[in-house]
Amino acid sequence: MVIKEFSIHPLAVADPPLRSSYGRHAPYALRTLIRLDTTDGICGVAEAHGGEGSLAALHALRRLVLGMDPFALHDLWMRWGAEEAAGDRTQTWMVPGENPHDARRRAFAAVEAACLDIIGKAVGKPVCDLLGGRARGAAPFSAYLFYKHAGGGGEGADEREDEYGECLTPESMVRQCRRMIAQYGFRDIKLKGGVLDPEIEIETVRLLRAEFGPNYPLRIDPNCAWSVETSVRVGLALREELSGGGYLEDPCAGLDGMAEVRRRLLAAGADIPLASNVAVTGFEDILPAWRGHAVQIVLSDPHYWGGIRAVQRLGDLCRCLGMGLSMHSNNHLGLSLLIMAHTCCATPAMEFACDTHYPWQHSSDEILAGGRVQFENGAVRIPDRPGLGAEIDWDRVARLEERYRRLPYRRRDDAAEMRKHVDPAWQRILPRW
Amino acid sequence: MVIKEFSIHPLAVADPPLRSSYGRHAPYALRTLIRLDTTDGICGVAEAHGGEGSLAALHALRRLVLGMDPFALHDLWMRWGAEEAAGDRTQTWMVPGENPHDARRRAFAAVEAACLDIIGKAVGKPVCDLLGGRARGAAPFSAYLFYKHAGGGGEGADEREDEYGECLTPESMVRQCRRMIAQYGFRDIKLKGGVLDPEIEIETVRLLRAEFGPNYPLRIDPNCAWSVETSVRVGLALREELSGGGYLEDPCAGLDGMAEVRRRLLAAGADIPLASNVAVTGFEDILPAWRGHAVQIVLSDPHYWGGIRAVQRLGDLCRCLGMGLSMHSNNHLGLSLLIMAHTCCATPAMEFACDTHYPWQHSSDEILAGGRVQFENGAVRIPDRPGLGAEIDWDRVARLEERYRRLPYRRRDDAAEMRKHVDPAWQRILPRW
């Protein structure tokens, strides 16, 4: 069995105007669907980051994939040079999906997932069962809350209900969270911060805790928007709220700053773990992060760490170093959600609920035949089907691909959206507070 | 498909009177063959450590394995509590196969290998291809040289040729090596030291280098027989011979001693890496070993590190910490050799030739149908058969099992053999020199 076809489908997915320190989400999030077909007539699929950077890497990888045995993944990794990620890795200002250091690993990860989908279908087993089996039966996710402007995003938004409405105050965030938990049953809460004045974000976290109580661990992620000083101040203000299973994620830019934040929090008796997915995006980053006590929880992601197996190996590494393991999310569709769920279930060390943007995508853009993936008590159960368990609605794919080709969006640029809609002079400034 | 039968076959394998700092090998090395049979009629096998300790752990694990899906290995790992390995791990005096800290992992590792054998047979793929595929097409091994007394070991030894004869001098060791390399084509040389006066062992290494030249990297392993002082002295005397792909393995007992040896060697300009398989036998040991610069190369072993996948994960951990990865060997038959070869081929980080005792076992004790595994240029090629690629000669197994039951050997005790044959007062003393 070898791979005889490799098709690459860029997709534009409607996305509401969510806010972060990067700016404001464009009306479309970009994703890529890849499809591998084997000489045995088996088709494997995977979802990857989107836009022209992702497409270029996948097209470059394509010639190595055609003709390969889908089991021969180490060989592909080596031929593709995915190990090499030299250069300055102090990449704390970049969106993970756009970081050039990890571009080869992102492309490899997509092919790995599609090959595992093929293998699972050939063998009649779900992907996580090919990887040592399940450390847990379902993958828990967190309620990922965003400050946002009104509107559903993308074409047809006017006809769709703006499910969560505008949310730029602590009180509306509590409503957002209540609604999301009622619908999905999440048991962990993540607030995307770095958007409003830190005092308002502190107040938001406090209100969330008051509403949901200590059984809903809280994490806040300002994406490096704060100075060391501000990070320490927020940490101390939220020392109760962010402990007991919660964490403070990428409060400021750079490992040195994170290490100082941690030192100062500890010195003040606040043992709040720091997490990262921007200062730590590859195996090369772990040791510097660990050595300086800058990061206590690594946010993995099968899409950019080099695949599902890479996250499994990262889990053992983290355990050995006494670090925790959680999972980062970009905007994604149901196929990525399944990749993340298989990864979580096959990784014993994944002891935190994973992040997911899934509630922010609308069912009308779902590419899975049969509609959106369902959650039970905030968790995704592995489908009782071989491979990733995804059946693709190719008409939907064609529609999202046509939309990608018609629209001008080619890379994520949240700052451009801020300049267009909020402030013509807006720039991402680190630290902002 | 679930496992419906789990049979455990203790084996006694003829072994020549090899010497090490533990003493003298008994006439029989102890191994265990396990066999799992599934409801689908597929049979998986694996070879494990031997003797009553190994048997007890495998029998205890048996009740968890019966009825399990062979894909559900993470679940077994957790139910069996293989993660727990508490207690004082400064275990530098123990033979790896007898270390109680890793007993659960050793038993799990055997079941994992047999389950992977089943999965491979069910899927029609060699085991290494189930684990990400091959980082290399064949697994390179080293020529593992021992000082030894005359005799082939075990019953029937008198009728068999004593292939290597007595070897207690530098000159006879060069002959042993020449013979072994002529037969197997090894490209790396490992000398088991800690047996004769260090000056004689230094002379042995020098003669080996003079005979084979720098293209045959050299390693010496005195199994902790030396003091720090002696370790430094030998290292400095052999600074040329042990560099360039060679290493100094467990020269003295304990991580503190190893760290001091490394410091003093470096201070004298001798950058000889130190390797270990006694101070470092589990993931818990890696960090203390790395932190103190006591160990630069970790000697893995799928038999006691918790399986083939555990060695793969160890590989990434070692790369991340800048440590090298090699592989330890106990006495073993061809089935273990295949397990080791699959592990090596599926582990990109395995960049040193693996150790093997295989040349020391006689073809008349091989349990593989078709006879002994063949080497090409010192390497074992993955058989073009599903699973581990082993077909078992069950008559041979019955013969070695009958021998085990008839004979009194129940655990490895090289000191007892020394007292019996060499010196009635012999004890293992660390350091001896």
Q: What is the pLDDT of residues A354-368, one digit of tens each?
A: 999 999 999 999 999
User: What does the alpha-carbon distance between residue A42 and residue A359 come to, in Å, rounded to a whole number?
Assistant: 31
Q: Are the beta carbons of A320 and B317 separated by less than 8 Å?
A: yes
Shortest distance between the Cα of B316 and any Cα of chain A, in A, equals: 7
Q: What residues of B are in contact with residue A71 (Cβ under 8 Å)?
A: 125, 129-130, 133
How crowded is residue B413: how many other Cβ atoms within 10 Å of its Cβ? Answer: 17
Shortest distance between the Cα of B281 and any Cα of chain A, in A, equals: 13
Q: What residues of A are in contact with residue B129 (Cβ under 8 Å)?
A: 69, 71-72
The predicted structure's pLDDT at residue B87: 65
User: What does the alpha-carbon distance between residue B122 and residue A236 come to, in Å, rounded to a whole number?
Assistant: 56
Residue A1 sits at the chain B interface (C-beta within 8 Å): no
Residue B78 sits at the chain A interface (C-beta within 8 Å): yes
Residue A211, CA distances (Å) to A174, A176, A180, A207, B13 in order = 7, 12, 14, 6, 68
How crowded is residue A63: how many other Cβ atoms within 10 Å of its Cβ? Answer: 9
- Check whether A84 has a pLDDT greater than 90: no
Q: What residues of B are in contact with residue A78 (Cβ under 8 Å)?
A: 135, 348
Q: Give the closest of B75, B123, B132 to A133, CB-based.
A: B75
Residue B74 sits at the chain A interface (C-beta within 8 Å): yes
Residue A64 sits at the chain B interface (C-beta within 8 Å): no
Residue A293 sits at the chain B interface (C-beta within 8 Å): no
The predicted structure's pLDDT at residue B175: 98
Instruction: Give the mean model confidence (pLDDT) for residues A265-272.
Output: 97
Instruction: Give the mean model confidence (pLDDT) for residues A97-104.
Output: 83
Judge whether A237 and A260 are in contact, CB under 8 Å: no
Confidence of residue A344 (pLDDT cuts 50, 70, 90): very high
Q: What residues of B are in contact with residue A122 (Cβ under 8 Å)?
A: 123
Interface test with A, best of B65, B136, B313, B314 (most A CBs within 10 A): B313
Q: Give the closest of A122, A133, A317 to B72, CB-based.
A: A133
Phi, psi (rounded to 5 degrees) for A387: 70, -145
Instruction: Give the mean model confidence (pLDDT) for residues A141-153.
Output: 94
Interface test with A, best of B2, B65, B71 (most A CBs within 10 A): B71
User: Which residue in this structure is represented by tokens 């295949």?
Assistant: B338
Phi, psi (rounded to 5 degrees) for B404: -55, -45
Task: Number of helices (H) and strands (E) in chain B: give both, helices first.
Answer: 13, 14
Q: Is A362 annotated as catalytic?
A: no
Better pLDDT: A95 or B382? B382
Contact residues, B window 101-130, toward A, CB-based 8 Å cutoff? 122-123, 125, 129-130
The predicted structure's pLDDT at residue A385: 97
Residue A321 sits at the chain B interface (C-beta within 8 Å): yes
User: What does the alpha-carbon distance between residue A50 and residue A357 come to, in Å, rounded to a whole number?
Assistant: 15
The predicted structure's pLDDT at residue A98: 78
- Check whether A86 has a pLDDT greater than 80: no
Shortest distance between the Cα of B411 and any Cα of chain A, in A, equals: 31
Following CA atoms A221, A227, A229, A232 in sequence, which dihedral angle do they give, to the nearest 10 degrees?
Answer: 10
Residue B390, CA distances (Å) to B113, B138, B372 in order = 12, 16, 11
User: Which residue in this structure is represented by tokens 């300086």?
Assistant: A292
Residue A348 sits at the chain B interface (C-beta within 8 Å): yes
In single-letter form, the type of residue at position A7 comes to S
Residues near B46 by Cβ (< 8 Å), separated by ≥ 6? B33, B34, B110, B111, B112, B113, B114, B117, B335, B339, B388
Instruction: Give the mean model confidence (pLDDT) for residues A57-67.
Output: 98
Q: Give the H/E segment covering residue B37.
A: strand B28-38
Q: Are the beta carbons of B73 and A316 separated by less than 8 Å?
A: no
Q: What residues of B are in contact with residue A293 (Cβ under 8 Å)?
A: none
Residue B210 sits at the chain A interface (C-beta within 8 Å): no
The predicted structure's pLDDT at residue B160: 67
Interface test with B, best of A68, A125, A129, A320 (most B CBs within 10 A): A320
User: Which residue in this structure is represented by tokens 């946002």?
Assistant: A148
Q: What residues of B are in contact with residue A133 (Cβ under 8 Å)?
A: 69, 71-76
Q: Which residue of A has its CA nearest to B129?
A: A71
Residues near A182 by Cβ (< 8 Å), separated by ≥ 6? none
Q: Are the beta carbons of A135 and B78 separated by less than 8 Å?
A: yes
Residue A75 sits at the chain B interface (C-beta within 8 Å): yes
Shortest distance between the Cα of B75 and any Cα of chain A, in A, equals: 6
Q: What six digits make up the tokens of B293? A: 């610069």
Q: Are the beta carbons of B71 and A122 separated by less than 8 Å?
A: no
The predicted structure's pLDDT at residue A154: 83
Shortest distance between the Cα of A73 and any Cα of chain B, in A, equals: 5
- Check whether A160 has a pLDDT greater than 70: no
Instruction: Give the mean model confidence (pLDDT) for residues A203-226.
Output: 98
User: What does the alpha-carbon distance between residue B247 and residue B265 come to, in Å, rounded to a whole number?
Assistant: 12
Interface test with B, best of A64, A127, A136, A317 (most B CBs within 10 A): A317
Interface test with B, best of A128, A316, A382 (most B CBs within 10 A): A316
The predicted structure's pLDDT at residue B150: 94
**DSSP helix, strand, coil percent of chain B (3-state; round to 5):** 40, 20, 45
The predicted structure's pLDDT at residue B101: 82
Q: What six digits make up the tokens of A430? A: 């680190």
Q: Using one digit for the tens of pLDDT, what is the confidence trace for A16-32? A: 999 999 999 999 999 99
Burial profile B122-135: b = 16 or more Cβ within 10 angstroms, e = fewer: bbebbbbbbbbbbb
Domains (ranges, CATH) in chain B? 3-125 (3.30.390.10), 129-394 (3.20.20.120)
Q: Are the beta carbons of A129 and B309 separated by less than 8 Å?
A: no
Q: Give the H/E segment covering residue B221.
A: strand B218-221
pLDDT tens track, chain B, 433 positions: 999 999 999 999 999 999 999 999 999 999 999 999 999 999 999 999 999 999 999 999 999 999 999 999 999 999 998 877 656 777 666 777 778 888 899 999 999 999 999 999 999 999 999 999 999 999 999 999 999 999 878 877 766 678 899 999 999 999 999 999 999 999 999 999 999 999 999 999 999 999 999 999 999 999 999 999 999 999 999 999 999 999 999 999 999 999 999 999 999 999 999 999 988 988 989 999 999 999 999 999 999 999 999 999 999 999 999 999 999 999 999 999 999 999 999 999 999 999 999 999 999 999 999 999 999 999 999 999 999 999 999 999 999 999 999 999 999 999 999 999 999 999 999 999 9
Going by the DSSP 8-state scheme, the letter that residue B45 receives in this structure is: E
Q: What residues of A are in contact with residue B305 (Cβ under 8 Å)?
A: none
- Check whether A70 has a pLDDT greater than 80: yes
Q: What is the pTM of this model?
A: 0.96
The predicted structure's pLDDT at residue B163: 86
- Which entry of A192, A303, A332, A342 is annotated as an active-site residue? A192
The predicted structure's pLDDT at residue B29: 96
Contact residues, A window 363-392, toward B, CB-based 8 Å cutoff? none
Region of poorest pLDDT, from A65-79, A145-159, A233-247: A145-159
The predicted structure's pLDDT at residue B135: 97
